[in-house]
Amino acid sequence: MATTLHEDGTVESVDEGRARVCMASGASEMCRRCNACDTGPGGAYVLEVDAGDLHPGDRVTVEVALPSPWSAIALLLALPLAAFVFGAIVGVAWFAKGASDTVQALAGLAAGVLAAAAALGTGLLSDRRFGRRHPPRVVAVRRDNWHTGSPVP
């Protein structure tokens, strides 16, 4: 299950179907840690979204889907640890007959490290794929009416 984050920002520029949104300066801690934004000039957080009918100066609310913390723990901690243990057991068993204890231990360590690295890589690819399947999107647009200065929904 994914968690959604909603943050306000202002459209900085629109170019080739993409809009650059500068996030509000008082962004929440969760916003600062989600890594969906790039850091722009002056340390501002800048996010690219589909432009749609956005114009520079529009105030928007952006929704960013974040993976569940429990799935992140499972993919980036538990899975590599389990793979390391499994790899170590297989590595020791592979050299069980006719090899010294040192060779068995080194084989187990090497197989465990390789299995853990493969599992970690799989978890990182899964996280990247989640980000591509759930890109940030604009859920609300607020524009100022140019002749009265009042917001237009």
pTM value > 0.75: no
The 10s digit of each residue's pLDDT in 10-28 is 888 888 888 888 877 666 6
Q: Are residues 54 and 29 in the same domain?
A: yes
Helix (H, G, I), strand (E, B) or coil at 38: strand
Do you know the residue count of the chain?
153
Same domain, residue pair 105 and 57: no
Domain range for 29: 3-67+132-152
For residue 144, the domain's CATH number is 2.40.50
Which pair of tokens denotes residue 64?
Answer: 């960013």
CB atoms within 10 A of CB 83: 22
- The string of pLDDT tens digits covering residues 59-86 is 888 888 877 778 778 888 899 999 999 9
Helix (H) or strand (E) holding 119: helix 101-133
- Number of domains forming the structure of the chain: 2
Contact 86, 115 (CB under 8 A): yes
**What pLDDT does 82 receive?**
95
